[in-house]
Chain A
Amino acid sequence: MSKEKKMYEKVCEYLGCDINAEPCQELQHHLKECPQCEVYIDEIKNTVKLYQRADECEETPDSVSKKLFATLNLDQPDKEKTSD
C-alpha cells in the first residue's frame, strides 16, 4: 500500500471516531508536515462543534414534559427529588 493511501485511510479512520481524541502518532507526524490535512481536520472538527453548540440551544418545552407524564399516567418527579 502506498504511503499516501495509508495516510488517507488513517485520516478517514480518525474522522470516523471520537472527534476529541488525539490523532495517532503517525497521523500527528503527518499533520506537522501537511498543513492542508491539518486545515481539513480542523474544519471537520469545527463543523461538529457548531452542530453541538446549536443542539444545546434547544430546550424541551414544559408543556411537552407535562403532556408525556399525563399520557403515561405517572407523577412527574420534582427536580429536588431526582437529584438526591
Chain B
Amino acid sequence: MENEEKIVERAQEGDQDALARLVNEYHDRIYHLGLSMLKQEQDAEDMLQETFLTLVEKVHQFKGNSSIYTWLYRIATNIALKKLKSKPRKYPHIPIDEPDFKKIHENETKEEMEFDFEKVNNYKFRKTLNQVLDELPPKYKTVFILRDLHNLSTRETAKILNLTESNTKVRLFRARNYLKEKLEDLKTEELMV
C-alpha cells in the first residue's frame, strides 16, 4: 500500500487520483465530526464540502508539520465552530464545576449507575444522548468529540484547537463529568435503563 506521505506529495503536485484517495480516506470521519458538532445533516454536509474544497485548494500549502488528518480536522473544526458562532443560541446555564469529591466520598450508599449499551441501537435514545451532548458549550463539546469520539490524542486535540495540553485535559474531564451527571438525571427519569 502506498505510503500516505507519498499520496500527499502527489496530491500537492495536482494528481487527481491522489486527491481522491485522501478524500475517500477521510470523508467519513469528517462527516461524522460535522454531525456530532452541528447536529443537522445539511450543516454536516456543508461542512464536509467546505473542508474538502479547502483541501483541494490549499493542499500545496500543507507543510507536513502534522499529519494530514490533523490538518484536515483543524480545517473542519474551524468551519464547524464558525457555523456555530453564526447561529448564536443561548446555552442553558451549565455549571461546569469540578465534581464535589467530598460529597462523592460521603455518599456511601449510592448505587452504581447501570448502563444498557444495547439501547444505543434505538434511534430515539441516540437522539437523547445527542441532545445532552449538544447542551455543552462548544469549547467543551469539541474536546469531547475529538478525544472520545474520534480518538485523537491530547496533543493532536490541543494542536487543532490551539490549546495547551493541560487545558485540553481539564476541558475533557469537565465535559465527561457533565455528561455523566446528566445521564444520571435521565436515569432518574427512567430514560436510561
Determine if B188 is an interface residue (Cβ-Cβ < 8 Å). no
| Main secondary structure on B side of the interface with A | helix
Determine if A1 is an interface residue (Cβ-Cβ < 8 Å). no
A69 to chain B, nearest CB (A): 7
In the docked arrangement, what's the CA distance between A82 and B168, Å? 34
Determine if B60 is an interface residue (Cβ-Cβ < 8 Å). no
A11 to chain B, nearest CB (A): 7
| Main secondary structure on A side of the interface with B | helix
Q: Which of B138-193 contact A (CB under 8 A)?
A: 144, 148-149, 154, 168-173, 176-177, 179-180, 183-184
- In the complex, which residue of chain B has the Cβ closest to the Cβ of A74? B20
Determine if B36 is an interface residue (Cβ-Cβ < 8 Å). yes
In the docked arrangement, what's the CA distance between A47 and B117, Å? 10
A47 and B112 form a contact (CB under 8 A)? no
Query: What number of residue pairs across chains A and B have CB atoms under 8 A from each other?
Result: 129
Given contacts A43-B112, A52-B149, contact A36 B45 (CB under 8 A): no
A22 to chain B, nearest CB (A): 16
Q: Which A residues lie within 8 Å of B129 (CB)? A: 50-51, 54
Q: Which B residues lie within 8 Å of A67 (CB)? A: 45, 49
Map CB proximity to B onto A17-59 as digits: 1 under 8 Å, 0 otherwise.
Answer: 1110000000000000011110110111011111111110110
Determine if B38 is an interface residue (Cβ-Cβ < 8 Å). no
In the docked arrangement, what's the CA distance between A20 and B186, Å? 25
Given contacts A17-B154, A44-B177, A64-B45, contact A54 B108 (CB under 8 A): no
Chain B residues near A (Cβ < 8 Å):
1-2, 16-17, 19-21, 23-25, 27-28, 31-32, 35-36, 45, 48-49, 52-53, 56, 98-99, 101, 104-105, 107-108, 110, 112-113, 115, 117, 120-121, 125-126, 129-130, 133, 144, 148-149, 154, 168-173, 176-177, 179-180, 183-184
Q: Top 10 A-B pairs ranked by shortest CB distance? A: A16-B169, A16-B173, A74-B20, A54-B120, A47-B180, A46-B115, A53-B120, A60-B31, A15-B173, A39-B112
Interface pairs (13), CB distance under 8 Å: A7-B101, A16-B172, A16-B173, A40-B99, A40-B104, A43-B184, A48-B148, A54-B125, A58-B126, A64-B31, A64-B48, A68-B52, A72-B52
